[in-house]
Amino acid sequence: MKKLGLIGGTSWHSTIDYYRLINELSANRLGDGSNPPLILYSLNIAIMRTMNTDTISAEYISIAKKLELAGAEAIIICANTPHMIYPVLVPRVNIPILHIADAMAKEAHKLNISKLGLLGTRATMEKDFLKDRLRKEHGLGTLTPGMNAREEINRIISEELTRGIFTNEAKSYMTGEMAKLKLQGAEGIILGCTELPLLIKPEDFDLPLLNTTLLHAEMAVEFIFSELAL
């Protein structure tokens, strides 16, 4: 098994799910009660809340280098939004970084869908770091909610979900916006914040939901058991 480095903490609630899923999926493969070697660095989410790209980049570069020195053979960033610094991070380490958008795309192609609604933080919905990779690398289109809805979704994520607050009111608001995206032609919905799958379950909506936490964890496990490095 290959040794994987995880950068978590954004938030710790979803990082727990990453850790659990990677171990559970690996244990199912092994069938003997053992688990894979993992190195987890959980950073302070306050770094992300600064939304200062230079500060965030410097922190992630420092952590990635530490994980590499500790023996990690690949890195997984346990959140969607920090992938905005992926292009800066990749040249600074000598091991692969498993991109969350590639995990989304694999599932979308499996489901034979090409237009996806995207929910997440305001940065995830408004910036191009996920949307461009999905379009350019995988031929997938994305739809996002309107400006006012993006503000409210971001508020719910930052003020509630990342603090472990999950309410029926938040779920109702999110599914209402998902319904609007469906009317615009979305064939599936990307739960593009790793806290969203903790709030919204597959039975809550009538389109396929791309659980980015689960999909990214599955990608991580594929690497752990791969014969050759990426």
What whole-number distance in Å separates Cα of residue 1 and Cα of residue 206? 38
Q: Are 79 and 101 in contact (CB under 8 A)?
A: no
How far apart (Å, rounded) are the C-alpha atoms in residues 77 and 110? Answer: 23
Across the chain, mean pLDDT equals 96
- From the candidate CATH numbers 3.40.1180.10, 3.40.50.1860, 3.40.630.40, 3.40.30.10, the one assigned to the domain spanning 101-212: 3.40.50.1860
How many angstroms separate the CA atoms of 6 and 159, rounded?
24
Q: Residue 224: what are its φ and ψ, rounded to 5°?
A: -55, -35
Give residue 116's identity as a one-letter amino acid code.
L
Q: Identify the DSSP state of 85.
A: G
| Amino acid symbol at 10 | T
What tokens does 5 get? 């480095």
Query: Residue 40 forms beta bridges with which residues?
Result: 6
Cα distance between residue 78 and residue 55, in whole Å: 18
Q: How many CB atoms lie within 10 A of CB 73?
A: 19
pLDDT for res 170:
98
**What is the fold of 4-99+214-224?**
Rossmann fold (3.40.50)
pLDDT recorded at residue 206: 96
Nearest-angstrom CA–CA distance, 21 and 106: 18
Q: Fold match between 4-99+214-224 and 101-212?
A: yes
pLDDT given at position 227: 75
Q: Respond yes or no on whether the N-terminal peptide bond of residue 11 is cis (omega within 30° of 0).
A: yes
At 174-186, the pLDDT tens digits run: 999 999 999 999 9
Q: Which string of b and e fits 166-183 if b means at least 16 CB within 10 Å?
A: eeeebbeebeebbeebbe
Given its phi and psi angles, is residue 11 left (phi above 0), alpha (psi -120 to 50 degrees) or beta? Answer: beta
Instruction: Tell me the per-residue pLDDT of 52-85, one tens digit each, with 9 for 90 and over.
Output: 899 999 999 999 999 999 999 999 999 999 999 9
d(CA 124, CA 71): 30
Which pLDDT belongs to residue 49? 86
Domain range summary for the chain, segments of one domain joined by +: 4-99+214-224, 101-212
Q: What is the pLDDT along the chain (230 residues), one digit of tens a residue?
A: 999 999 999 999 999 999 999 999 999 999 988 999 999 999 999 998 887 899 999 999 999 999 999 999 999 999 999 999 999 999 999 999 999 999 999 999 999 999 999 999 999 999 999 999 999 999 999 999 999 999 999 999 999 999 999 999 999 999 999 999 999 999 999 999 999 999 999 999 999 999 999 999 999 999 999 974 44
Q: Positive or negative, the Cα torsion across 128, 130, 135, 141?
A: negative
